[in-house]
Each structure stands twice: as C-alpha cells, then as structure tokens.
Structure 1
C-alpha cells in the first residue's frame, strides 16, 4: 500500500471525517464544559492515517490516530470497507454538571447518513 493509496483514501473520506469530527465536537460542547478549559476537538486533517487490511474482510480500512503535543494517542477514527466508521476521542475530565461522573471519551459510530455519538462516562466512587 503506497502513500498515494493512503492520500487517495484520505481525500475520499475528508468530508465524511470532518462531519464525524463536527459531531464529536458538538457532543463535547453539549456536555457544558466551561470555555476556559479550552478542551480540544478532533480535526480530521490533524490525524495520522494508515491503511490497515481487515483480516476478516480483506478490505483496506483507513485508520487515523490523533495525538496530543506530548505524542500521546488521544483518539482514533476508522473507516471500514462497508462504509461504516468508528471513532473515539479522549476528553478525560470530570463531568461539568454531574459530579458523580467522569467523561472518559466521546464515541461515534455508524455511517455518514446515520452518525451516532455519545459520551463514555465513568462513575466516580463516593
């Protein structure tokens, strides 16, 4: 798989990926974090992409990873050969309004015409 194959896949998925990133950002915003936290949102073109062959279907899946400034992985997005996707983006913050909960990440999945998004919450022991 050449870099031109990867670049072609990135170009084909750009609008799809930007839509997914927008839905994740909307979910983060709806949680109500204070603006001064300046929580980052995923940006499609900031991901580092690779083509990965699915061992079951043999399709070439476009997989991207987001990293923070310390080069720690903070999220991923994967486009499958059947047109579906899965994404996860780390938030790692106490919930801004529900003190018993911690927001670990935002998960997104589905297809372009049916994107599902939800916060992955952890219960904070009392």
Structure 2
C-alpha cells in the first residue's frame, strides 16, 4: 500500500485548492496493478472544481483501464477523509462492493473501509 500512498501524496502536492486550502490526493490501483493518481482542482466558480478521486479515475479511464481494485485518499485532517458521495458513486462505476478504500494522512493509513460500506445502495455497484 506504500505505493498508493506515495502516488496520492505526490498528486496532493500538486492540488489546486486556492479557495478551500484543503489539498487532497487520491490513487487507484487497477486489476493489472497499475496506479493512477489525482488531486483536487478548484476554480473560481466554486464548487465547480473536481475531486482528487475524479482526477485519478479520469487518468485511469484515459489509459484504457476500467477496473479499480483498491483506492487511497490522502489529506491532512483530524479525522480520516473519505470520498464524497459523488466520488463514491463514480468509484462504484469501476469497482466492486468489497473494494478497499483507505483514508490516510500524509504518513499512514488511518482507517480502511469497503466501497460497499461507504455506499451501501449504489446504482450499479457490483457485489
């Protein structure tokens, strides 16, 4: 999982969060083992930016991959930061209910969930 944390931290370092000042990085691992990372991107027309998980999924899809087997989200906060509702549904498009989703700070995983725990009645979520 260190490779996911490194990738998410590297992406987080490039986050564009001038309005919230809340930088987030995410990394997804595909069935082939490839890792795709993304950062949140805010814009002046807040909240019309996009989340780190969305950025990571976009990079994955652009590469031709379609199956997520593990997710890691990294942010600096007192509590573990999990994907927002929209990103949970986006992840469900490419993952299964049992897919692990890790919430981390920059140094380590704070808590792990399954996607099914985070989004129990998702549209189209595969068992």
| TM-score, shorter chain, exceeding 0.5 | no
User: What TM-score does the superposition give when structure 2 sets the normalisation length?
Assistant: 0.32
Give 1 or 2 for the bigger CA radius of gyration.
1
Kindly indicate which of the two structures has a greater share of residues assigned to strand: 1
User: What TM-score does the superposition give when structure 1 sets the normalisation length?
Assistant: 0.32
